[in-house]
Amino acid sequence: MINFFGIRHLSPAGAFYLREFLENTRPELVIIEAPADFEDVSNDIVRPETKPPFAILAYTKSVPVRTVLYPFAEYSPEYQAILWCHENNVPFRFMDLPSETFLALADERIRKIEQLETDEIDETEPVERKPDVYEMLAEKSADGSHETFWERTLEQCADFSAYHEGANLFGAKIREFSEKDEFDEKETKLREIYMRCVIRNAVNGGVSPEKIVVVTGAYHVEGLKTWENDEKLPELPAAESLHTLMPYSYYRLSTRSGYGAGNKAPAYYELIREGLIRGDRLYPAYAYLSKIAEKTRENGGAASSAQVIEGVRLAGSLAKMRGGNIPTLRDLRDAAETCIGEGSFAAVSVAAADAEIGTKIGELPEGVSRTSIQDDFYRLLKDLKLEKYRSVTAQDLKLDLRENIRAGSEKSAFLDLSRSFFLHKLRVLGINFAEYVPSKQENATWAEEWKICWTPEAEIALVESALKGDTVELAAAFQLKEQVEHSDEMSVIAKAVEDAFCCGMSAAANYAVGALQRAAVDAVSFEELAKTAFSLSNVINYGDIRRADCSEIIPILQQIYLRACLVMTGACVCDDAACSAVAQAVNMLNSVELAQNSLDTEKWLYALRETARRDDLNTKLSGLCAAILLERNQMTNDELKTEVSRRLSKGVPADLGAGWFEGLTLKNRYALIARLSLWESLDEYLESLDDEEFKRALVFLRRAFADFSAAEKDSIAENLGEIWGLNGEEVSEVLNAKLDETSQETIDALADIDFDL
């Protein structure tokens, strides 16, 4: 009779008792539930340099890339089974469907879902939702949670016989009461046929059934006991694929990351395994609460040893109240909240996250089962001295792109620049290892800031990029080329130019520049022209510091800038819905002109003046252009007063006048606040309005002042106090006071009126 050992895929008790079971059984063959085509990485799994958690990642060889992950922790029963076989020179086999079949089944599921989404659904027919088996278990359990039920019932088993029998029974009952959809049932049936064939082939190959141990998910034990039945394996679907080992993290194993077969507290589950090894079943309680106390103190809180001891006592009492003998995580968390957090879980929440989930990351020997792009990535991490940033804890990295004249070699002199090139390549590839943080020093073109944090998702994205190139640079070049070739928008091509320069890839930059030159002859919108000019301006600004030749970029920028100046006024004939995009483009083009000495300033100033004076344009945009002219000292106080009296007069509709004022306040507010004549004109304008016009103006003016700071509002109040002959502080108190209920209702009602706009 074959020995079936049912397990949970991440079970410390399962991992511990399985080894004891293997020692007692001394099998000649161990068959493990894992994709059959993963056996080629088994030698790398058992190497001493391989540190869990790690995962085997299978991925398709064609785009779009599909992936499937098989993670392992130190307390994974499958991993411990592999180690035991290696230590005892016992052969083992993997028996589940090959990964290429799982990937094909995933594609089939996606197609089915897409088909269901397109099919017509009778919404009048009530859909009965069947309760999930784990929800039913939680309801029946005194713990109110299937996770806590599993921990109290199986992770706390006193010996391997109890775990062995309990896990097999648990799996049988879950199997009996589970409601499976059609696709899940089909996949499970196919998997179990395949696994039974592997078992049968092993017996037919001469291994006695009594000398075989099958390690499988407890759910499948009952389905594999009929292995002797002679059944034909159907033809398996397959998606051509590859697989690789990759480091993993405890956070990714936790259920918070969305991994369905994970557990919510991987670091805590490691403590359970350590307690089993030590023979101390209370070890997890002491270790968990001690960790909570330690982290609480590190975060500035107060936590004593006495609180830890009292917490262990309370957790034990809670366990007995709930029908157990040993505290579970639920009991320990309640005890931590009471004894260390003094009744507030918020006080220990950060410490609890560390004690329950942790920040552990696995390690692999150099070159092990990696794609060429992974090898290149880790080589560059080492070469650029970025290895210390490979952590799940986010870290800041500040770069100085200038040459370090005190360095002993050219490589050291430009280390930060090389780092910048590398991190920008990862950004282009969508590998979220590093996030670019725009510098607060606007004129410091030599400074860059990054926030770096390693995640398994970054590793997966890296593997997916293997289809684009064998190295990080080749993959980034392919990505930029695709971006250029598959875009009809000039601004997207210009962004590719900017990205190529940021990556230090001159060949990719030249290719994108050529495409941009061809695209520049086509008719495009003002917004597209502004975005393109902005990207090219950034390239020129950073050109010297990045040691790039920008000579071909300048004439293209001049051409695009001129076109933008010519079409800007026409673009301002728009409604409020399009106004924001045009305003953003105006600000972009203004910043480009200020940054580049090679551009014709008069062309831009003429466009601004023309837009500011016109009455037939969107008034908010006219106000914005007036604000820019003021900011650049191209509009005098007398000119502003004339414009204010013209825009804010009784004959001008209230929404148009208030809209113009809103545009005026979009730039350099402190300079506007300092102009007392402006507030006198606004006061006179509002005084001249009748009740209906005042209500209309109020809606737009509230929008204009919505994002003013408290300090700015205080300054305005001082101006109004001076105009009205009142105390500025008293005016400020009134203006900044919270509206009473009646006034607020009036304002809310006004906001719902469209005034026939």
Q: What is the pLDDT of residues 241-280, one digit of tens each?
A: 888 888 888 888 886 554 445 678 999 999 999 999 999 9
Tokens representing 351? 């410490």
User: Residue 131 has what pLDDT?
Assistant: 62
Q: Would you say residue 372 has pLDDT above 70?
A: yes
Predicted local confidence at residue 748, as pLDDT: 60
What's the pLDDT score for residue 465? Answer: 86
Q: Is the per-residue pLDDT at 635 higher than 60? A: yes
**What does the pLDDT read at residue 257?**
52
Quote the pLDDT of residue 441: 53
| DSSP at 674 | T
* Cβ(167)–Cβ(16) below 8 Å: no
**pLDDT of 747 over the 70 cut:** no
pLDDT class for 744, splitting at 50, 70, 90? low
The strand pair at 54-60 and 67-72 is best described as antiparallel
Confidence tier at 755 by pLDDT (50, 70, 90): very low
Say whether pLDDT at 738 is over 70.
no
Whether residue 368 has pLDDT greater than 90: no
> Bridge-partner residues for 244, per DSSP?
57
- Residue 726 confidence (pLDDT): 77
- Scanning the structure block, which residue is given the tokens 């609480």? 296
Per-residue pLDDT tens digits for 102-141: 999 988 887 877 676 666 555 555 545 556 777 788 777 7
pLDDT of residue 64: 72
- Percentage above 90 pLDDT, the chain: 50
> pLDDT grade, residue 636 (50/70/90)?
confident
| Per-residue pLDDT band at 470 (split at 50, 70, 90) | confident
Predicted pLDDT at 442: 56
Mean pLDDT confidence for 361-375: 80
Secondary structure element (H or E) that encloses residue 688, with its range? helix 676-688
The predicted model gives 161-187 an average pLDDT of 87
pLDDT attached to residue 11: 94
Residue ranges of domains in the chain: 3-114+133-248, 266-356, 372-467, 600-757
Mean pLDDT, rounded, for 167-183: 86
* Residue that wins the pLDDT comparison between 361 and 131: 361
3-state SS class at 542: helix
Q: Which two tokens stand for residue 398?
A: 């500040």
For residue 704, what pLDDT is reported?
A: 67
Compute the distance between CA of residue 698 and CA of residue 686 in angstroms, rounded to an integer.
9
Residue 732 confidence (pLDDT) above 50 = yes
- What is the Cα–Cα distance from 707 to 705, expressed in whole angstroms? 6
Q: Which residues pair with 4 in a beta bridge?
A: 214
Tell me the per-residue pLDDT of 521-536, one tens digit each, with 9 for 90 and over.
777 899 999 999 999 9
- Rounded to 5°, the CA angle 674-679-684 comes to 160
> Is residue 344 exposed (0-12), middle (13-18) or buried (19+ Cβ within 10 Å)?
exposed
Please name which of 523, 446, 453, 536 lies closest in space to residue 488, comparing C-alpha atoms.
523
Instruction: Please tell me the pTM assigned to this model.
Output: 0.70
Q: Which range, 296-300, 565-569, 653-657, is most confident?
A: 565-569
Q: What is the per-residue pLDDT for 692?
A: 75
Long-range contact set of residues 655-658: C-beta below 8 Å, sequence gap at least 24: 655/696, 655/697, 655/699, 655/700, 655/755, 655/757, 656/619, 657/619, 657/685, 657/697, 658/696, 658/697, 658/699, 658/700, 658/701, 658/704
Q: What is the mean pLDDT of the chain?
A: 86
Does the structure show a pLDDT above 50 at 72? yes
pLDDT tens-digit readout, 604-627? 999 999 999 998 999 999 999 999
Residue whose tokens read 């107060």: 302
| Angle, CA of 303, 307 and 312, to the nearest 5° | 130
Residue 46 scores a pLDDT above 60: yes
pLDDT digits (tens, 9 = 90+) for 304-354: 999 999 999 999 999 999 888 999 999 999 999 999 999 999 899 999 999
The pLDDT assigned to 130 comes to 57
pLDDT recorded at residue 520: 80
Q: Name the most confidently modeled range: 273-282, 451-460, 515-524, 572-581.
A: 273-282
SS3 288: helix
Instruction: Report whether pLDDT(403) > 70.
Output: yes
Average pLDDT value for residue range 565-570 = 94
The pLDDT, as a whole number, for residue 549 is 86
